[in-house]
Structure 1
Amino acid sequence: MGKSKIDQPDAGLKSLNHYSRQLPLWRYWPRQKLIPLIRYETPYLAWVQEKVRTPALDSYFAFTANLGTHTFFMVFLPFLFWCGSPSIGRGLVHILASGVFWSGFLKDLLCLPRPLSPPLQRITMSGSAALEYGFPSTHSTNAVSVAVYALGLLSSPDSTLSAQVTLVLQAVTYIYVVSIVVGRLYCGMHGMLDCIVGCVMGAAIGLVQFHYGPVFEDYLLSTSLMGISLLAILIIGLVRIHPEPADDCPCFDDSVAFAGVMLGVDVSSWHFADVWTGYPPGSIPYDLDKVGWIKTGLRLVVGVACIFAWRTVMKPALLRILPPIFRTLEKLGLLLPRRFFTTASEYTTVPTNLKDHDVIPNFSDFSNIITTMRHPRRRAVSIGPQSEADAYETLAYREKRRRESQSGNRASPVIEGQVQVNGSPLPSRKTTRLDEYEDMMGRGSPRSTAVDVNSDIQTIPFPSLDADAGRRDEKEVFSQIKKPRVRYDVEVVTKLVVYAGIPWVVIEVAPLLFDRIGLGNR
């Protein structure tokens, strides 16, 4: 069955058939089926956001969103390994790696946008999150998976905590997960569909880890070289089959980083399993009574310094070493280039000052992180498209509304003063606030900069239906989007090696160093 005239884009309007051209039918079809749900819920989300927003809640949800990022977990996960809980540390790595990878996999597979802004206002302390697709919510996946796993451990018969401590930790866990998930809706970063699917994924991952994690751990610590090699090949293979997105989305970078972390944790734990005699396999000696609080603090400082030293040295080294190797492999036809990554034959050197979407921050970023933590009221409130996906959805919805108005298929409310394409006024009726929110969708002046919380959302009229106006539309919207930096093919392998090396430093290097410099159990 052919498309109706109303569904066919004008010649020259590349944005309107962008996803149909970029995606195969089996990916494009579910995307088109889910888009109406995202558009339907947007006015309701905006209505709720306006009704409940306060400066205090803005600060609270913007701040707690940081506690649901994989960056937060990656900064603190090494402490579990160094402070006597390596098994829980491995479990959390498996949970987070699975959540980040599979949520990123779905994001790049379906390329679904976040709910439109306006009418929503996006409240965040980090601008990088808005550059990703919206479905599903990785924050929700991370938070729910960790919460389910933590609640399982707290209710386990093996738990040695008192009833009072268990109750407090359970209450904190519930507050944590509700704050993260509700915060994604409150902050205008996700819709209900994004969060529900993210929560379901997180619950499944957490339950699998709780019930089958001990079995996998026994296998990991006792398997042969062949077994650990097959596991490493499986992880690298999953990275290779990660879907190509239609836009320059950083989801793949996070997936690669956490695939590297999982690879490093599993291989290092297997290799390190029998190093310490007299301790359970895979454990790192730690006894608070012997080490004491001061030495424990020094262990954390020295360990973190080792992680940053590894990253500081290895990343620039690999970016210098790999390009000639990649050029040779490219000539032999052995490379499978990814979209949006420049191949080695097209550049001579890789800049050393690349700004990354990194899981582990740079030393130079810590001053900003500390400032943000000390001043949680510092948040950006952004209105308008922030990413390529936002821009394409804004244009698509704008064109959809224009065509519906042209065909008369939509009995939509009309704002006072709105006119038809031929210049005659449209008959008006009383509008509700939801109608006004829906009318803002696809109409708002795109602005990616921080704005005053109480500022009004400015709107612009829909241009006429001709192709020239549509092209002016495209130019206007995309001129407001910050272009992604050039990405180099060697960065994928660099990220994989660097992040696989971090667990090696945490599990193998740092504990031996602690023992040598007097921070061990002796």
Structure 2
Amino acid sequence: MLELLVYLHGSELVARFQRRCGLFPVHDAHHSTPVHADEPRARLKGSWSHQDKNSNYEYKENGCGCSRPQYEVRNRLLHVLFLLSAGLGHEIFYITCLPCIHWSLDPFLCRRLVNMWTVVMYVGQVMKDVLKLPRPLSTHVVKLETRVDAEYGLPSTHAMAATAISFTVLLSAPSRIQFQFEVGLLIALTLSSLVCLSRLYTGMHSVLDVICGVLISALILFLTYPYWETIDRFQLTSRVSPVAALTLLLFLSYTYPELEHYSTTRGDTTTILGAGAGCSVGYWVNEQLGQTFEPLGVLPVPLPTLTADALARGSARFFVGVVALLGTRQVVKTLSLKVLYSWYRVGRNDESARRRREIEVPYKFVTYTAVGLVNSILVNRVFILLGLL
């Protein structure tokens, strides 16, 4: 059993998958070079930084930039498909596409989704920093993402989020919207599978990371599913709900496990917890005001007909909503950093200050709590004023 786990966690499987999909390191593109799963990560004095142009990487040593291509793409279709699939687990997707479920489909589904996404991502991020298992180490594995390479690997939170989002919507939607369950199941399986495979293609996770991510997410869904209705009632009707959401999630942000080196996991986790807190408070406020923006008619309601007018209104809602969220994010982030820098007497040009717990946690939590509040409370009311609902 242990040998199997070591094999699944090795870099060789990842490298083989990349080659099968047409992704080759430049030095390996025209030569058959054996892959060593146990090859240690090179410890370089320089640093790697991503170059968007031509999808290459640039190596900088001692202040001198000497760029050279690091990989060759032989299957452009799969390359684009997996990069787009990987993007489904990044912030740009969470802050743009997920809120559309609230704006254009059903706030009930968005609330369920945000709740499960918050729980699953917190568990996954903490497990990474407790288990401390490395990402693929072989120098023959092409790394297409560098921002999170300093993080630990197991479990894959992309796989966890994709599984949680797809199947939370699938399990919650039948009571709200009329659709063919088999079609929904096929879509959920397809989307979650693409995201999982994209983590292998980008070289960021081993097969074991991905399998564990899916299984852990499925276990959380299985254990919590019987209590979803109870959680809904407490979240929407209890007087202590907003206080509990803010204090608990802020406490979890501050008590996130410390590492010997800086990693983006604490900041990303605080972002998720802040967004979850803001949305939770916002849904409670809407319930108290008696304006929840849920579909009209007897549930489950038919799926909206996709007409030219509906498409135009949906596009307008998307544009207005995204501008509102990104604007809120930028304004609150700037103001909160100014206040914290002044409070702790830190220079504004000191970029490393953002990595300190006493600055990173409050500024990210406040910023994304505000984003969650705007998403759940204000955006739909703006749509009413503009005649977009």
TM-score of the aligned structures, taking structure 1 as reference length: 0.56
CA contact (8 A) 2:9 2:208 kept: no
Give SS of 1:207's match. Answer: helix
Q: Aligned with 1:127: secondary structure?
A: coil
Deviation string for 1:426-461 (max 9, x for gaps)?
Answer: xxxxxxxxxxxxxxxxxxxxxxxxxxxxxxxxxxxx
Go from structure 1 to structure 2 and tell me whether the alpha carbon gap of 1:485 and 1:43 turns closer, same or farther (over 3 Å shift). farther
Counterpart in 1 of 2:29?
A: none
Measure the CA separation in 2 of the matches of 1:295 and 1:51: 42
Question: In structure 1, how many angstroms separate the alpha carbons of the residues matched to 2:378 and 2:135?
Answer: 42
Q: Which has the higher contact order (CA 8 A, sep 6+)?
A: 1
AA aligned to 2:275 is V
1:315 match: secondary structure = helix
| Equivalent residue, structure 2, for 1:275 | 289
> Hey, what does 1:349 align to over in structure 2?
348
Per the alignment, residue 339 of structure 2 pairs with 321
Query: Which residue of structure 2 lines up, in the alignment, with residue 501 of structure 1?
Result: 370
How many residues align? The count is: 326
Amino acid at match of 2:382: L
Match of 1:119 in 2: 140
The answer to whether the 8 A contact 1:319-1:350 is kept is: no
Which one of the candidate residues 23, 38, 41 is aligned to 2:10? 41
Aligned equivalents of 2:177, 2:364: Cα separation in 1: 39
Aligned to 1:273, what secondary structure does the other structure show? helix
The reply to whether residue 184 of structure 1 matches residue 199 of structure 2 is yes
Letter in 2 for 1:82: W
The residue number in structure 2 matching 1:63 is 84
Question: What's the offset of the Cα at 1:176?
Answer: 1.6
Shift of 1:210: 4.0
Equivalent residue of 1:129, what SS? coil
Q: Does 1:218 align with 2:217?
A: no
Paired amino acid for 1:324: S
Q: Distance in 2 between matches of 1:109 and 1:315?
A: 29
Q: Secondary structure at the match of 1:114?
A: coil
* Equivalent residue for 2:186, pick from 171, 174, 181: 171
Give 2:208's aligned residue: 193
Aligned to 2:355, which of 480, 483, 487?
487
What's the CA shift for 1:51? 4.7
Deviations 1:159-182 (A, max 9, x none): 64343xx43332222222222223
8 A contact 1:132–1:250 mirrored in 2: yes
Aligned residues of 1:65 and 1:183 also touching (Cα < 8 A) = yes
From the superposition, tell whether residues 513 and 134 of structure 1 become closer, same or farther in structure 2 (CA, over 3 Å). Answer: same
Q: Out of 162, 178, 191, which is 1:161 matched to?
A: 178
Distance 1:350 1:85, change over 3 A: farther
Alignment CA distance shift 1:274-1:252 (3 Å)? same
**8 Å contact from structure 1 (residues 87, 283) kept in 2:** no
Task: Please list the CA deviations of residues 405-437 of structure 1 after superposition, one character each: whole Å capped at 9, or x if unmatched.
Answer: xxxxxxxxxxxxxxxxxxxxxxxxxxxxxxxxx
Question: Where in structure 2 are the equivalents of 1:427-506 lying within 5 Å?
Answer: 487-488=355-356, 489-506=358-375
Partner of 2:278: 264
- Whether the aligned pair in 2 keeps the contact of 1:276 and 1:285 (CA below 8 Å) is no
Cα deviation, 1:92-136, whole Å, max 9, x if unaligned, reads: 1112222222211111223221021313223x3x43232321111
Distance in 1 of aligned mates of 2:311 and 2:81: 31
Aligned sequence identity (%): 24
Alpha-carbon deviation of 1:292? 4.6
Indicate the SS of the match to 1:274: helix
- Per the TM alignment, residue 201 of structure 1 is displaced from its structure 2 partner at its CA by 1.7
| Structure-1 residue corresponding to 2:166 | 147
For residues 102 and 171 of structure 2, the distance between their equivalents in structure 1, rounded to whole angstroms, comes to 20
The reply on whether 1:240 has 2:232 as its aligned counterpart is no
Distance 2:323 2:286 in 1: 21
What is the CA distance between 1:196 and its match in structure 2? 1.9
1:294 corresponds, among 291, 308, 312, to 312
Q: Does 1:515 align with 2:376?
A: no
Measured in 2, the distance between the counterparts of 1:322 and 1:68 equals: 29
SS of equivalent to 1:201: helix
Compute the TM-score of the two structures, normalised by the length of structure 2.
Answer: 0.74
